[in-house]
Structure formats: C-alpha cells, structure tokens
Amino acid sequence: MQVKRNHRILILIFLVVLSAELYFSLQTPYLDNQGYLIERYTEHILETGKPLFYDTLSYNGRDVLYSPLWHYVLAVFSLMFGNFVFKLVPALFSSSLVFVVYLLSKKIVDNEELALFIALMSGFIPVVFVDSLISASVYSLAIPIMFYLIYLFMDLDEKKIGVFVALSFLLSLLHPVSILFSLGLLVYYLLGLSENMKISNLNVEAMAFNFVSTFFIQFLIYKKAFLEYGFSVIWHNVPSQILGSYFDFDLFGMLYRVGALTLIFGLIGIIWGMIKKKDRIMLLCGFALATLILLWLRLLEPTVGMMFLSVALIVASAFTLNLFLNYLGKTKLPYYRLSFIMIVLGLIISSLAVPSFVLASKHVNDDVPSDYEILVLKWVEENALPDVTIVAPLGKEHTMTAVAGKRTVLDDNFLLAPETSERYRDIERLYSTKSEVEALEIIARYNIDYVFIPIETELKYGKVKWTDDESCFRGIFFGTPKVYQVIC
Amino acid sequence: MKAASEESFLEHQRYIKLFAKLSILILALAFLLLPGILRESELAIGDRPYYHLTREGDTDRIGIGWNFLLRYFPMNILLPAIGLLSVFFIFFNLKMLKLEERLLATGFFIISPAFVYLFNVGERFGMAFLFTLIASYFLLDKKHLIAGICVVLVFLFDIWIGVFAIAILLLYLLIRYNKKKIFYSLLGVIFLLLLVLGKFNAGIISDMGAKIGSSVFAILFVAFCFLFFWDRKRFFSFYAIAGLLFLFSLKVEFGIFYFGLFLSILVGLCFFELLRIRWESKLVRDLILLIFVCGLLFSGLSYANRISKEKPNEDIFNTLSRLPDGAVVFADLEYGNWIDYNGKKSVWHSLMDRDKIETIRKDVSILLESKDYTKTTEVLERYQIDYLLLDPELKQRWHESGLIYLLKYNSEGFRFLFEENGVEVWRFFR
C-alpha cells in the first residue's frame, strides 16, 4: 500500500512537471531557431521517408551529418499529434527524468520520501527545464536514457545486461553525447582503480561494450567528418571566433542555471561520497568529472555540459540530504519536522523553480520569432524566387530556412560546412561595416539576394548604413526585422 | 560403427578447413577487384602509378624492377596476381600459428586498408612487399641463400624496403644465433634513429583521412586487448614488435604496410584469446567481437570505396590529350605524373627529389600568393610554362590565390583556351 502511495506521488510529480513545461511551451505557437531545424528535418522524413543528408538551403547547399533517430521518433509521434509533437514529445521525455532520478536516488539512499523529493527537484532544474520547451531538443530523451543506464550499471546482473546493451546502442544512435557516458564510465573505472575499489567483471565487460559500441556507431555515422577533419573532428568545425568563447566560465550564471541548491548539495555529496569510497557516488563523480573535463577542453557546449552535470549533482545531493536528515534525527529538530520541510521547500522554490520559471518565460518570449518576423518570412516565401539566398545572422538561420524556405549563407550546423570561420567573419563584417563597397564584395561572394536585419543585430552593431543606397538595395520591410533586396 | 563416425568427423573437419581456406581466397579476390569494380573509369588509381607507366622499361629511375615488369605485363593483371601471391606467402609465413589463427590473421590483413592500397594502387611497394614475404618464408624454412636472393631482389623495387629487409634479416639471425647483446644494442640503435631522424607523420589512420594507413578499429582492438593480455609473455613480445613497427610507420611511408600486416596478426591472436578467456556475459563478448569484425570490415570497405573515387578522371586525361605533345603544363604537384603520362611536360611531380620539390614549392607559393603580374610571369617563364590546367578541385583549392586573380583580370598574358567538364586550360604567352 505504501509503495502504491509513493508511486502515485511520483506520477503526480511527473504530471506537475509536464504541466509546467507545457504551460510555458504553449505560450507561443512558434519554436526557437534549433527547433525549426529539427522541424524541417522531421518534415523531410514525413514527406520522403528518408532523412535529409543533402541540405540545399544550408550554406547554399551542402552535405549534413547527423543521427536521424530523434527525427524519426518525432516523425512517428507527429502522425498522432501533428505539429504539437515538437512541444509535447520533448516535454514528455524530459518529465520522465523524474522517474529515473527517483530510481537512482532510491538506490543511493534507500529512502523513498527523500527519493521522491529529489525526483521533484530534478523536474525543475532550470537548464534542463528550459531546454525541452521550444527547441524539440534531443537531450530531452538522451538525458533520461543516460541516467537510466547509470541506474542499470549500479546493480548490473545477467538479467539487466540485455537492457543495458540495448540502451547503450540506442543512446549511441541518438546523439554523439553518448561519448560522455563512455568517458564517464572510463573516469569511474580509473577512480575505482586508484581507490582500490572492486569493480565486478560484469561491470567491466559492460563498460568495454559501451566504449566499443559507442565508438563504432559514431564512426559509422560521422565517417565523412572523420575523413575530412581527422582528429580535429572533436572541434566540430566550429568557427574559431565562437570556439574562443566556449568556456567563458560564469559562476553566477552557472549557479542560476543549475540551481544553487543543486550545486551546493551535489558537490558536498560527491566529495563526501568519494571520501567514504561509496561506489555509486563514485560513478556519479566519474560523470561529473568527465563532463567538466570535456567542458574545460571546449569539446562540449557549456549549456549541454551543464544539463548533464546538474542531473548528476541532483542525484548526488540525495546523499547529502540523507546525511543531513540522519543528523537531524539525532537532534531535537524532529519536533520541528513541518517547519524543516517548509524551509526546504522554500529553498527549492527559490533556487530551482523560480529560476526555471523566470528562464522559461524569458526563453519563450525572447528566443522565438515575433508575429511580424513570421509575417515577413512568409512574404519572402511567397514572393521571392525559389532559389534566392538570404543572409541572416547566426541565431536566425534555421527559422529563415524553415519558414521562408530560402537558402542561407551560414548556420550553426558547422560539421562539414564550408569555410565556417571565413563565413562567420564575413557575416559579422557585413552587418557591422559602414562601407558599401565592402558589403557589396561580401554580397557578391555569397550570391546574396536578400538581407535580413533583425532587431538584435541592429542593437549589437548599430544601424546598417549601406542599405541607404536605394540604387542598390530596395527596402521591403522597415520594421523589426528589416528586409532589403539586393538589386545592383 | 565408431570408427566410421570418427572417420566421417575427420572428413567433416577437412571440409571445414578447405572451406575456410577457400573463403579466404575468395575474400582476397573480392578485395583485389572491388576498387576496380566500384571505379567509374578504367584509369589506374592515384598519380604514382603513372610515374612507372610513363617510364616502363626505364632502368635508371625509382622502382626499376616495377618499371621493367610493367613493360611486359599489364598493371591490372599484375596487381591482383601479386596480391594473391602475397596472401599465400602470408599464410605460409604464419605456420607457427594454429590454422584458425593463420586464417583469421590473413583474413584481417586482406580487409585492411594497407592490403587494399598495396594491390590496387600500382605503386612499386606491392612487389617489394611480396619479395620480403618470400624472403621471410625461405628464411623461416632455413633456406638462407634463396632468402638472401629475394632480399637483393627487393632492392630492384625499392631501395629503402631493401634496407629494411636487410635490417630485419640481421635482427632475425642475431636472435636465432643467440647474440642477444648485439641484438638488443642494434634494436636500441634503430629505436633511437627512428626517434631522432626525419619527421613524424601523424596521418597513419585511414579512417581519419590518411592516404595510406591502418584501420582505426584494428588499432583500437589491439589497444583494448593490451589491457587484458599485456602481462602474458607471448603477447608482450608481439606488442613490443607492433610498437616498434608503429613508430617506424610514423616515420617511413612504406612502414605502414608492415605495421598493417603485423597488426592483423596481432588482431587474429587477440581475437582467439578473447574467445578463450572467461566472460561473465557471453552476449557482451559476442557483441564486442562482432562490432570489431564489423569495424574492420567497414574500414576496409570504406577505404576501397574511397580509393575507387580517387583521381585521375577521364576529364583530366581528355583535356590533356587536346594539348600539343611536349608542351609544359602547370598544375599542382599530384597532377605532374598524369601530365607526363599524356606526353606533356610537367613542372613537378610527387616522385621528384624532395629538395627539388621544396624549391619548386617556394616558387609556386609566389604564384599563389602574389597578384603582381611581373613576379608571376617571371616564375612562369623560369619554368617555361605554356599551359595552366585547372580542374574544379584546383579552382576550389586556389580560389583566393593570386594566380586565379590574374587569370580573371589580366587578359594580356593569359588567354582562356577551353573547358571540358569543368577542367579549364589557360595559355600563357611567354
């Protein structure tokens, strides 16, 4: 009966998290820039049954490399839910993290109430919460799978090995972030060796399998990139200008996006677990360390790294809170149990739920195109010739290709893209230069027919002055955004 | 009845062995023919074979033995033939191993990029490699004189492979006659020389874009097995030799073929050892081995596919055929042998003396970097260049160069002659 009650509470937590996510995501009918890219690839699957591996709109046409599994998942669900799928499915998967975290926490502390509490916390990690709203993000599925794999790994036996193998394959097929899981296992293995901990043979075999299968699948999917870039493939062909700012560490930003409570309790849990040589905490520590190493080497996008790190810390914080509760049990504080629960709830709300809601609200307002932008892009779609090229700054390019259906010069899908650093530099110069000659040179180089100037660009670089030459640039829209047609 | 069933069991075993040997033969044939089948034209792959084809019969150039053979035998027959012979001799050389280990090691070598390159690209290395295998076979068979003759023959194909063969022969004899001190001293000297001399070539993994390389899965597999078997005496010596050959292949171009062969033997041995050791989960064991086999196959197949798409193509040859014989045609380094093969004169080619290449490279960098007409024409005149050949790849490679700029905007010294399927020819008026 007790079990049933906890399960009911867990389902309730799941529904609360799901409702909160849907509440924010349904405040706008649009997606963010990344969401539009996923929508376009998914629609291509729906139309042709095949993934899009030659994108005619990106960089004026080029090969694209990605694992299409996530797009297939969305395509299948879209048969039932239509366009609602890009908000519902990520929210469903992302909310299911509460079940995984519940299982993990229960395994670490063997305290059902605390596990439920941690599960609730995991539903409102700001950086994870925001990611699954309007981006149709693959991480909404990758994170629960990865942490479920950790759960399986903690108590691996002959019965679970089959599931572990299958999910390892699935994760590798889903996204290259599976490498993070393999590295986490490796770091755990090395930590175990250094601490003289006994790691069972089955676990070592599972680790070996995971490493081999992940490596093989990534090689299979990204063969072209490996051939093209060799070992430099790890930098994803990201323009040097962007790569330079990949690890601009911002402690307060991190506290806010991961949650101060998560960070503090999680770190204490990991350090304490390591001191006490707790095997399961060591595993989480392995993941946290692997993530930090990848972040430090600029091999992982900061936001992505923070997502995985924050979930690992949330689970580790179960250990800290359990220690704390045990300590409280020995003091007079149990008499004030209700007050204590209220204080902790208050802390959660202030450090997790409030930042989550603030960030989510900001994200759905700022990172989606405005109604006017969509109107402009629809006009371009209907009135411009089909094979024209529009230049847009980074951050708007996928919206442009998805809504207007026109070619762009640059987008953030850098792998296999031609001359990314040069193009990035040229586009920055195009929007910032005062010289019409320089602008026309860039326009000619990339065969640009339309110039799209969003308000963000004007705020960053000031007014784009060379568009004033009416003999060369015909203004079509003058609001926010502005659109000019190149006529000379 | 019992005797009869034993006999039938032995008969069955014999058939299985025969079937396995035939399978290896078929596999070898498949990998020897695959790039040719995938290739859209009949043209030989790469630029270096054209060096030998241009100089067939010449006895004062690189690879005189290979040039000589090409005079009498067509390359597309010679290559599969020496490939098959090499497979036989690898198999014979591994007689100290169990049959299944020999078969598997040979099979792994056949699907390796090294094998695909050796016997599909008509370079001199394939024949030299075969003679070292024959020499090794006779050496192991204690027929030292024939082995010595084979080593001498290696020199006809490649001098440096000949030197390598002599060094290996010497090391073998030292260990065989128990001269361990001299053996280790010599080994130490070789090791030091390898570290000190020449430049390291990091591109030795074909899956990472290397022109000639090993499979990343083979390297990963032996590295993975090292964790399990490093303390076993048999494996330790194998790993030590593999390590030395790896270092050797980082320095010397042809080293990769011998490293590839040794790597395949090691993969075969490790494969069976992994099958023998105790696993908690048979599922995991089988899947790991399956993934590695698929990975090795994937490397070989993708390499075969890659080299089948290598240049030259018909367009380049058709364009060159329209130019007058003896005219000097300028293009990038790897186009030189194609130009020569078509009866024209190249400015440079990949088998030239290294110092000479470096000198020309400096002049070519002037052509590419400078937009100064005088400087450019000075270089073009120095090399008596009549025509400039630009195919789509060169146009892409040199798209922002001074030479392309001058071709576009200077009609005084250059004239566009014609274009055939994207391959352009420009005339330079000296």
**Cis peptide preceding A302, ω within 30 of 0:** no
In the prediction, which pLDDT does A35 show?
95
- Judging contacts by C-beta atoms under 8 Å, the chain B residues touching residue A226 are 207-209
Which residue from A202, A213, A215 is facing B281, i.e. has the nearest CB? A202
CA B232 to chain centre: 32
Does residue A243 have a pLDDT over 90? no
In the prediction, which pLDDT does A290 show?
94
- Judging contacts by C-beta atoms under 8 Å, the chain B residues touching residue A209 are 284, 287-288
For B284, name the nearest residue in chain A, comparing CA atoms only. A209
- What is the DSSP secondary-structure string of A45-74? HHHHSS---EESSGGGSEE----THHHHHH
**Best mutation site among A210, A219, A446 for testing chain B: the one with the most B CBs within 10 Å?**
A219
In chain B, which residues touch A (CB < 8 A)? 202-203, 205, 207-210, 216-217, 220, 224, 279-281, 283-285, 287-288, 291-292, 294-295, 298, 302, 306
- Judging contacts by C-beta atoms under 8 Å, the chain B residues touching residue A212 are 220, 224, 288, 291-292
For B224, name the nearest residue in chain A, comparing CA atoms only. A208
Mapping DSSP to helix (H, G, I), strand (E, B) and coil, where does residue B136 land? helix
Which residue from A202, A216, A223 is facing B280, i.e. has the nearest CB? A202
CA A156 to chain centre: 28
What are the tens digits of pLDDT across the range A394-416?
A: 888 999 999 999 999 999 899 99
Question: Which of A266-270, A273-277, B77-81, B135-139 shows the lowest per-residue confidence on average (mean pLDDT)?
Answer: A273-277
Does residue A27 have a pLDDT over 90? yes
In the prediction, which pLDDT does B190 show?
86
**Best mutation site among B207, B227, B281 for testing chain A: the one with the most A CBs within 10 Å?**
B281
- In whole angstroms, what is the distance from residue B61 CA to residue B52 CA? 9
A311 CB burial (10 A radius; 0-12, 13-18, 19+): buried
Residue A232 near chain B (CB below 8 Å): no
- In whole angstroms, what is the distance from residue A70 CA to residue A51 CA? 11
Give A206→chain B minimum CA distance, Å.
7
- In whole angstroms, what is the distance from residue A191 CA to residue A286 CA? 7
Confidence of residue B59 (pLDDT cuts 50, 70, 90): low
- The mean pLDDT of B172-194, rounded to a whole number, is 88
- The mean pLDDT of A44-70, rounded to a whole number, is 94
Mapping DSSP to helix (H, G, I), strand (E, B) and coil, where does residue A447 land? coil
Give B229→chain A minimum CA distance, Å.
15
Residue A198 near chain B (CB below 8 Å): no
What are the tens digits of pLDDT across the range B123-180?
A: 999 999 999 999 999 999 989 899 999 999 999 999 999 999 999 989 988 988 888 8
Give A433→chain B minimum CA distance, Å.
22
- Judging contacts by C-beta atoms under 8 Å, the chain A residues touching residue B208 are 226-227, 230-231
- The mean pLDDT of A11-30, rounded to a whole number, is 96
Q: Which range among A447-456, B46-55, B104-113 has the greatest average pLDDT?
A: B104-113
In the prediction, which pLDDT does A247 show?
60
- Judging contacts by C-beta atoms under 8 Å, the chain A residues touching residue B217 are 216, 219
Question: Could B216 and A216 be called an inter-chain contact, meaning their C-beta atoms sit closer than 8 Å?
Answer: no
Does residue B409 have a pLDDT over 90? no
Give B136→chain A minimum CA distance, Å.
35
- Judging contacts by C-beta atoms under 8 Å, the chain A residues touching residue B286 are none
Does residue B198 have a pLDDT over 80? no
Q: How far is CA B80 from CA B91, B181, B189, B222, in A?
A: 17, 42, 37, 29
What are the tens digits of pLDDT across the range A438-463?
A: 999 999 989 999 999 998 888 888 88
Name the residue with tokens 């195919």: B391
- Judging contacts by C-beta atoms under 8 Å, the chain B residues touching residue A173 are none
Confidence of residue B3 (pLDDT cuts 50, 70, 90): low
- The mean pLDDT of A352-369, rounded to a whole number, is 92
- The mean pLDDT of A218-247, rounded to a whole number, is 84
In the prediction, which pLDDT does A196 show?
87
Which residue from B283, B292, B306 is facing A212, i.e. has the nearest CB? B292
Q: What does the longest C-alpha to C-alpha distance in chain A come to?
A: 83
Tokens of B164: 């390598």
**Interface confidence (ipTM) of the complex:** 0.87
Which residue from A161, A220, A226 is facing B284, i.e. has the nearest CB? A161
Residue A223 near chain B (CB below 8 Å): yes
- Judging contacts by C-beta atoms under 8 Å, the chain B residues touching residue A158 are 280-281
Q: Which range among B56-60, B168-172, B233-237 has the greatest average pLDDT?
A: B168-172
More reliable by pLDDT, A96 or A261 = A96
- The mean pLDDT of A225-247, rounded to a whole number, is 82
Determine what percent of chain A is predicted with pLDDT higher than 70.
Answer: 98
- Judging contacts by C-beta atoms under 8 Å, the chain A residues touching residue B210 are 230
**Best mutation site among A173, A200, A212 for testing chain B: the one with the most B CBs within 10 Å?**
A212
Task: Give the count of Cβ contacts less than 8 A between chain A and B.
Answer: 63
- Judging contacts by C-beta atoms under 8 Å, the chain A residues touching residue B270 are none
Question: Could A206 and B281 be called an inter-chain contact, meaning their C-beta atoms sit closer than 8 Å?
Answer: yes
Please state, rounded to an integer, the average pLDDT across all residues of chain B. 90
- Judging contacts by C-beta atoms under 8 Å, the chain B residues touching residue A201 are 279-280
Per-residue b or e along A390-429, where b marks 16 or more CB atoms closer than 10 Å to that residue's CB: bbbbbbbbbbbbbbbbbbbbbbbbbbbbeebeebbebbbe
What are residue B102's phi and psi, to 5 degrees?
-60, -45
In the prediction, which pLDDT does A333 show?
67
- In whole angstroms, what is the distance from residue A327 CA to residue B75 CA? 83
- The mean pLDDT of A150-174, rounded to a whole number, is 95
Give A42→chain B minimum CA distance, Å.
28
- The mean pLDDT of A425-430, rounded to a whole number, is 92
In the prediction, which pLDDT does B238 show?
86
Question: Could B287 and A209 be called an inter-chain contact, meaning their C-beta atoms sit closer than 8 Å?
Answer: yes
In the prediction, which pLDDT does A29 show?
94
Tokens of A5: 């009650």
Name the residue with tokens 């060094």: B167
Does residue A169 have a pLDDT over 70? yes
In the prediction, which pLDDT does B2 show?
54
Determine what percent of chain B is predicted with pLDDT higher than 90.
Answer: 66
Question: Could A216 and B295 be called an inter-chain contact, meaning their C-beta atoms sit closer than 8 Å?
Answer: yes
Question: Could B281 and A161 be called an inter-chain contact, meaning their C-beta atoms sit closer than 8 Å?
Answer: yes
Determine what percent of chain B is predicted with pLDDT higher than 70.
Answer: 98
Question: Could B216 and A205 be called an inter-chain contact, meaning their C-beta atoms sit closer than 8 Å?
Answer: no
Residue A15 near chain B (CB below 8 Å): no
More reliable by pLDDT, B326 or A325 = B326
In the prediction, which pLDDT does B9 show?
76
Question: Which of A332-341, B283-292, B304-313 shows the lowest per-residue confidence on average (mean pLDDT)?
Answer: A332-341
For B225, name the nearest residue in chain A, comparing CA atoms only. A208
| Sign of the C-alpha dihedral computed for residues A218, A221, A227 and A232 taken in this order | negative
For B400, name the nearest residue in chain A, comparing CA atoms only. A445
Does residue B286 have a pLDDT over 90? yes
Task: Tell me the Cα Rg of chain A.
Answer: 24
Does residue B338 have a pLDDT over 80? yes
Question: Could A230 and B209 be called an inter-chain contact, meaning their C-beta atoms sit closer than 8 Å?
Answer: yes
Task: For the sheet with A450-453, list strands across it.
Answer: A407-408, A389-391, A450-453, A482-486, A473-478
Please state, rounded to an integer, the average pLDDT across all residues of chain A. 90
- In whole angstroms, what is the distance from residue A359 CA to residue B178 CA? 76
Residue A206 near chain B (CB below 8 Å): yes
Q: Name B345's bridge partners.
A: B328
- In whole angstroms, what is the distance from residue B62 CA to residue B58 CA? 9
Per-residue b or e along B57-92, where b marks 16 or more CB atoms closer than 10 Å to that residue's CB: eeeeebbbbbbbbbeeeebeebbbebbbbbbbbbbe
**Best mutation site among A204, A205, A213 for testing chain B: the one with the most B CBs within 10 Å?**
A205
Which residue from A165, A216, A230 is facing B283, i.e. has the nearest CB? A165
Name the residue with tokens 């009918």: A29
In the prediction, which pLDDT does B282 show?
93
In the prediction, which pLDDT does B4 show?
60
DSSP annotation of B310: P
Question: Could B281 and A158 be called an inter-chain contact, meaning their C-beta atoms sit closer than 8 Å?
Answer: yes
Does residue A73 have a pLDDT over 90? yes
Which residue from A205, A215, A219 is facing B284, i.e. has the nearest CB? A205
- Judging contacts by C-beta atoms under 8 Å, the chain A residues touching residue B298 are 219-220
Confidence of residue B385 (pLDDT cuts 50, 70, 90): very high
**Best mutation site among B229, B271, B280, B307 for testing chain A: the one with the most A CBs within 10 Å?**
B280
Does residue B21 have a pLDDT over 90? yes
- The mean pLDDT of B15-32, rounded to a whole number, is 94
In the prediction, which pLDDT does A248 show?
64
Confidence of residue A330 (pLDDT cuts 50, 70, 90): confident
Question: Could A226 and B306 be called an inter-chain contact, meaning their C-beta atoms sit closer than 8 Å?
Answer: no
- The mean pLDDT of B276-287, rounded to a whole number, is 93
Does residue A222 have a pLDDT over 90? yes
More reliable by pLDDT, B162 or A324 = B162
For A204, name the nearest residue in chain B, comparing CA atoms only. B280
Antiparallel, parallel or unpaired: β B387-390 and B328-330:
parallel
Residue A235 near chain B (CB below 8 Å): no
In the prediction, which pLDDT does A3 show?
61
Question: Could B291 and A165 be called an inter-chain contact, meaning their C-beta atoms sit closer than 8 Å?
Answer: no
Does residue A1 have a pLDDT over 70? no
